[in-house]
Chains A and B, each alone.
Chain A
């Protein structure tokens, strides 16, 4: 304890340690905090030693997890103390207590800067350490030049220099603009000549960061890196103190190899040869040794060398050597090596075509799925998922199913999802797929999300061949004494739809089917009861000729539930009862569900989302809903003879802003994904049953929430229907046009024309609205108000209340893009003409692509970036179906018009497009975005899209944005829907899978 040198502090720590329980500890801490607070208040009497002691105590308390909401000032003020001991404490405690977002830190910038530029080496070190550890943007802007000066100064000693290098690295991370690329490439090269390995290690870290951002500028450093590797790995030319268990600075070796991975290729043959010689030496010369640390260190280098070989990929010979090594690693006893072997195999699958070789290790990988270590099992699961194809899907999925029984809870959901995806993707035949999913539900019902069973229903509905088999299987599972509720739902649904296909089999008469389902009714929850009621109605409809006994039984049940406390159940019971009395009409209404339009599996989508945390997910969800509501709104010009109906109550009114005539009275209806106005004859009954469908949610969104109020945000509520004045232009069309050009008419009606002109620069835009009065009398009560989404800052200069006759007023508007989002700002524009109040909600074309700046990348620039953004959430991939058919050229034009510049020839496959752009917003600053679209020449309605950027939100938003541009919007095809014979609509409700599916996908 003597070392602490501070008796008061030691005593305090001892007392805390002696506390018997948490409560005592808290009392002691509170007492001490009170004491410190008092002492700080009467600061005058506080000797430096005391102040130091209290600040330490504060840090200790803070470290124990208690809030310390005062005294920060004292800690910060110690930084400006003249003497080293106080200064040291001030710097250290400040850097522990505060983070870069703390306002207090600003107070210290000047002192810190003085210490950095001052002559005192020890003060320099303290200041650089603080900035390196918690410096934020503000520090970056004000201190970067000074830190750079230190780093290149010849008089600066190693102990300062290495800190300056890492300090600059931090500042660069906070704001890449602080390092001027042109000036730095030469200096960086010089820094890499450094002999002192401490300085070189720090400089190499800095270099890794610089080169990951822009390797073009640093080609001259490449040979230097290879030299460093030669010096370390080949010549072993390092002072003794820089070897670690006999290995010449393994950390520096790893960092250097990491830096090299940011260069796309190595052109110079000599450099290349030298590097490969080193790599070969590492791959061959690394043996397993007894000493753990030596082993770890040498394998750290080895795995980095493997990654570098994978990246350079040239010598196929070395590649196979790598696979062989990895094959060896995944079978060793050392768990770390086993883990890394699996991890690197998965990585390797992504960069090169080694699937066949890796398949040889399948048995070993499956063994790892049973490893006692969850980290290893996770890796094995990922690898199995990545290596699965048609040839081994059966084996792998079976293993996954088996593992499901013993897997820990935290993994089960992911496991179930992955098994379901693989089963769907690689099913050798449909019945196998069915078996797998039912087993999945049977074994791990709790972990099978609704998406999975919705998908089954969709699959079965769309594959007639599968229907009898599915019904049979469902029937078999119902024989089990205890079955999971999800199984109950899916079985009841399938049997309701398809049990008549089994009618001739023993035990499968309508009556028996009904009996076995109904037996379970007392055990299921309310939402499932609704599904069961639907099944009963269907069974009843399918029992031809009607069986009076069954009919009475089922009617009795409907009667019973007519008074159910649950509105959904009650409604179904009432309606099914009424319907079933209608005789033949019942058959039309309850006929089999029509096929679902083919869509991307929501499961695959979900798999991509699993990384994102829940908050983000729900945000994504609500945004996607927003988008969907936009896309799905259909105007319903109500026929005059259509009497007001009950249905309207249940209908969700979603006012639309993008409809041609601003018709307010719009209702959302939807059958299995197709859009249409309800058929007049049965619309009155079905309307309300259908309505939940429409509010279900957008394509591909999991979950069953209904469209909440914020979901409709993008659609500003429209007031009463008083707009007698109709626009004379197609507002929706105009908006789309304005999304890709910068000036034009935004709105026009007989009295008013609104023009818009925009200039975009980085994350800012300057727009001018031209409000023109076309008439010969003045327009009054002119109002223009923005409903801006949170990602845009809009400043509209004042709009005059009156526009004189035949005059045009200009209203400048400043736009600042704060963060990436596809939400659209809405302009609420209203005026009075005579007695008419005209009110319009207009979307402002300040959309995502306005903040793009075109950039064309060469292959050398593109690929390292592409690779460095390796995985979700930075890189997202999605298969998009229902794409508006267009030629590749048209698609390229579309992308180019959105300022996503297509680089022809970058992708070796002529059916693919690769595009890039720079996105600007305040939060992301300039951010490179990369897009790859792989099209299928055989089917132009689907494609696979991969989007990458350095910001997860941006990647997601950009992906969705492009998708919106590519997908055909159904509202446009409304007239076509009219002509099609309406598929017989079904009573579907919230918990009906069909309804959910339609909404889901």
Chain B
């Protein structure tokens, strides 16, 4: 199972964290500090796996962002590596050629999408199309609620004129 997901920029800034195993806030900071030190310093052309505290971190760099997922030692590393890519492709499709800025300003979207890809540290949906559809439905629900609110407030505004 995936214990946690980290998105870290090349400068060591955290862009997203998701913890499927219970870590306290203190432990979380420690993990991030340790791992960003280890992973960011790794050169190109090395393998995508880092052994860490009896666990394994599978990571991949996309432009300025490192996507990291921590798994058990006996888990299938390549499978996780492609879960990362699967997630990136979905982000890419949603934002239209995703870049780090998209994820900074829309970090909540990145979280929503991740929740459609993983639950309990396991892959939930391997179809990009399905994920895209579900996220779109959520967006439209939010939009609809907003419009409704607006229209009600309009009504109230008019009524109190």
Contact = CB atoms under 8 A, between A and B. Distances in A.
A85 B134 CA distance: 15
Contacts of A462: none
Nearest to B56: A375
A201 B47 CA distance: 27
Nearest to B89: A293
Given A85-B146, A336-B77, A244 B119 contact: no
B79 A300 contact: yes
B127 to A, nearest CB: 4
Given A3-B95, A378-B51, A372 B119 contact: no
B119 to A, nearest CB: 4
B128 interface: yes
Given A88-B142, A241-B128, A373-B46, A293 B78 contact: no
B85 A293 contact: yes
Interface string B105-122: 111110110010001101
A201 B123 contact: yes
B82 A85 contact: no
A549 interface: no
Interface residues on A, range: 35 or more
Given A13-B104, A251-B123, A375 B76 contact: no
B18 interface: yes
Interface string A1-27: 101110000100100010000000000
A134 B4 CA distance: 12
B16 A63 contact: yes
A202 interface: yes
Interface string A270-313: 00000000000000000000000100110110011000000000
Contact of A241 (B74, B111, B129, B134): B129
Given A99-B23, A251-B126, A373 B105 contact: no
Contacts of A88: 112, 138, 141-142
Contacts of A372: 43, 45-46
A184 interface: no
Nearest to B16: A63
Contact of B76 (A67, A170, A300): A300
Interface in A73-131: 83-85, 88-89, 92, 96, 99-101, 122, 128-129
A63 B78 contact: no
B40 interface: no
Given A92-B108, A335-B46, A65 B76 contact: no
A393 B13 CA distance: 46
A244 to B, nearest CB: 7
A147 to B, nearest CB: 12
A442 to B, nearest CB: 29
A128 B120 CA distance: 10
A4 B106 CA distance: 5
Nearest to A99: B22
Contact of A339 (B49, B54, B109, B149): B49
A136 B20 CA distance: 11
Contacts of B95: 3
A259 interface: no
A166 B49 contact: no
Contacts of A101: 22, 24
Contact of A335 (B32, B47, B122, B130): B47
A870 B105 contact: no
Interface in B9-38: 13-20, 22-25, 29, 32
Contacts, number: 184
A303 B120 contact: no
Given A129-B119, A241-B128, A300 B138 contact: no
A351 to B, nearest CB: 13
Interface residues of B, number: 66
Interface in A398-428: none
A198 B82 contact: no
A707 interface: no
A678 interface: no
A56 B142 contact: no
A303 B22 contact: no
A198 B127 contact: yes
A197 B127 contact: yes
A205 interface: yes
A340 B109 contact: no
B73 interface: yes
B78 A242 contact: no
B92 interface: no
B136 interface: no
A613 B108 CA distance: 35
A133 interface: yes
A205 B105 contact: no
Interface in B46-80: 46-51, 53-54, 73-74, 76-79
Contacts of B50: 375
Given A67-B25, A336-B48, A85 B18 contact: no
B124 interface: yes
Nearest to A125: B134
B155 interface: no
A169 interface: yes
B82 A297 contact: yes
B14 A300 contact: no
Contact of A96 (B104, B111, B124, B127): B111
B82 A336 contact: no
B120 A300 contact: no
B145 interface: yes
Contacts of A293: 82, 85
B22 A100 contact: yes
Nearest to B142: A85
Contacts of B142: 5, 84-85, 88
B78 A300 contact: yes
A132 B141 contact: no
Given A241-B128, A244-B82, A375-B51, A122 B43 contact: no
A338 interface: yes
A56 B83 CA distance: 26
Contacts of A134: 22
Interface string A973-1000: 0000000000000000000000000000
B82 A162 contact: no
Contact of A299 (B24, B78, B122): B78
A484 to B, nearest CB: 29
A100 B105 CA distance: 28
Contacts of A871: 73
Contacts of A340: 77-78
Contacts of A373: 42, 46-47
Interface in A219-272: 239, 241-242, 244, 249-252, 254, 258
Task: In the A-B complex, list the 10 residue pairs whose CB atoms are closest, starting with the nearest.
Answer: A300-B78, A335-B47, A132-B119, A166-B119, A170-B120, A373-B46, A205-B122, A241-B127, A99-B22, A300-B79
Interface of B: 13-20, 22-25, 29, 32, 42-43, 45-51, 53-54, 73-74, 76-79, 81-83, 85-86, 95, 102, 104-109, 111-112, 115, 119-120, 122-130, 134, 137-138, 141-142, 145-146, 149
30 contacts: A3-B95, A4-B108, A56-B108, A63-B16, A63-B17, A65-B29, A65-B32, A84-B141, A88-B112, A96-B111, A99-B19, A129-B115, A136-B22, A159-B134, A169-B122, A198-B124, A198-B126, A198-B127, A242-B126, A252-B126, A254-B79, A293-B85, A297-B78, A300-B82, A303-B78, A335-B45, A336-B77, A340-B77, A376-B47, A873-B54
Interface of A: 1, 3-5, 10, 13, 17, 49, 56, 59-60, 62-65, 67, 83-85, 88-89, 92, 96, 99-101, 122, 128-129, 132-134, 136, 159, 162-163, 166-167, 169-170, 173, 197-198, 201-202, 205, 239, 241-242, 244, 249-252, 254, 258, 293, 296-297, 299-300, 303-304, 335-336, 338-340, 372-373, 375-376, 378, 611, 613, 870-871, 873
Given A201-B124, A297-B78, A340-B78, 9 more contacts: A56-B108, A63-B16, A122-B141, A133-B20, A167-B120, A205-B122, A335-B46, A372-B46, A376-B47
